Amino acid sequence: MPQDVDFHIPFPSRRSPDFERARADHLSWPRALGLIGTEAAAERHSRGGYADLAARFYPSATGADLDLGVDLMSWFFLFDDLFDGPRGEDPQETRKLTDAVAAALDGPLPTSAPPIAHGFADVWRRTCQGMSAAWRARSARHWRNYFSGYVDEAVSRHLNTPYDSAGHYLAMRRQTIGVQPTVDLAERTCHCEVPQRVFDSAVLFAMLQIAIDTNLILNDIASLEKEEARGELNNMVFILMREHGWTRGRSIAHMQDGVRTRLEQFLLLEACLPKVYDTFELTARERESAEKYRMDGLRSVIRGSYDWHRSSGRYAADYAIAASYQGYLEELGSTL
């Protein structure tokens, strides 16, 4: 994230005390699956700081729980990179790959499935351990929404019809930013489940939407130079400029104001949670689960995203430009 674009996040920075151990071994999993095949690819992946991201998203997780978070973050970005080339402009090819990956939600994959699908299947299997059938069904729905969002993006690129309003763009990006499955995993790493009746409440729903919107705004600011370099038009900065005729600076300032307003609302909603717990007559254990979700799910995914975007090498100007990046895509694509 450009250092001159600041966002005041009213939550303290946190990171798992097991971070260094997890970082030291974080390449073993994608290497074992064949998702990283060369030292150049390993170096590029390491620059992303995905172990750091997981340690910030799941600050109370240690051991195998943190490893699961790290592997999910590695998978997320390896998967996302597959759509930066021609596949991301071809709706049929996009659907073919997302369907192959999403099939892991329904049962075992055939051995012929691509490595990126087997990687997701492994993460999904570990994610489901110890979780109820209702939770697994809820999380699976969120994953399906995430995958379908990639097809929507591909249709926009294929038709060369970039989003013409921030509202339409937000509706799509709320799926592909992947925050919902990320926050779902916080319940798994904390070994807790938010009662469904509370999860469906207007208060918690609004808090989750704020976490999602904040993440996608932070991501669009961080990736602005990278996306501009490859001609991407679907970034909120560019959309605001087209929609309102604003300068880049005014568009960014508008996004900063939007984050500040959302987080002020988040704090007000937090203050309502005790009343929500009383209304739904939560037991002491259910209250504890809901509080873990608030602290180690919603708050940490907001603050963790901000801290990671400011330190990750993924959004450096030279990370995804021209020949070196095309070579990486060809290597990654060959694993399909």
Q: Active-site residue 168, yes or no?
A: no
Catalytic, out of 71, 81, 84, 193: 84
Instruction: Name the region of 64 (left: φ>0; alpha: ψ -120 to 50; beta: rest).
Output: alpha
Catalytic, out of 201, 223, 234, 300: 223
Measured N-to-C along each axis, helices 202-222 and 236-244 cross at an angle, to the nearest 10 degrees, of 90
Q: Active-site residue 75, yes or no?
A: no
Catalytic, out of 11, 77, 199, 246: 77
Catalytic, out of 230, 244, 248, 285: 230
Q: How far apart are CA 51 and CA 73, in angstroms?
A: 7
What Cα–Cα distance (Å) separates residue 150 from each residue in 74, 81, 175, 331? 18, 12, 8, 21
Q: Active-site residue 223, yes or no?
A: yes
Over the range 45-72, which residues count as b (16 or more CB within 10 Å of their CB) and which as e?
beebbbbbbbbbbbbbbbeebbbbbbbb
Contact at 8 Å (CB) between 335 and 75? no
Catalytic, out of 118, 138, 157, 303: 157
Q: How far apart are CA 227 and CA 80, in angstroms?
A: 13
Q: How far apart are CA 94 and CA 191, in angstroms?
A: 34
One DSSP character per residue, 159-193 reads TT----SHHHHHHHHHHHT-HHHHHHHHHHHTT--
Catalytic, out of 80, 228, 232, 243: 80
Q: Active-site residue 227, yes or no?
A: yes
Q: Active-site residue 173, yes or no?
A: yes
Chain centre distance of CA 243: 26
Q: Active-site residue 296, yes or no?
A: no
Q: Active-site residue 80, yes or no?
A: yes
Q: Active-site residue 278, yes or no?
A: no
Catalytic, out of 153, 213, 227, 296: 227
Residues 6+ positions from 168 with CB-CB distance below 8 Å: none
Q: CA nearest 127: which of 41, 30, 79, 193?
A: 193
Catalytic, out of 57, 292, 308, 314: 308
Catalytic, out of 19, 57, 75, 76: 76
Q: Active-site residue 230, yes or no?
A: yes
Q: Active-site residue 141, yes or no?
A: no
Catalytic, out of 87, 173, 303, 314: 173
Q: Active-site residue 84, yes or no?
A: yes
Residues classed as catalytic = 76-77, 80, 84, 157, 173, 219, 223, 226-227, 230, 308-309
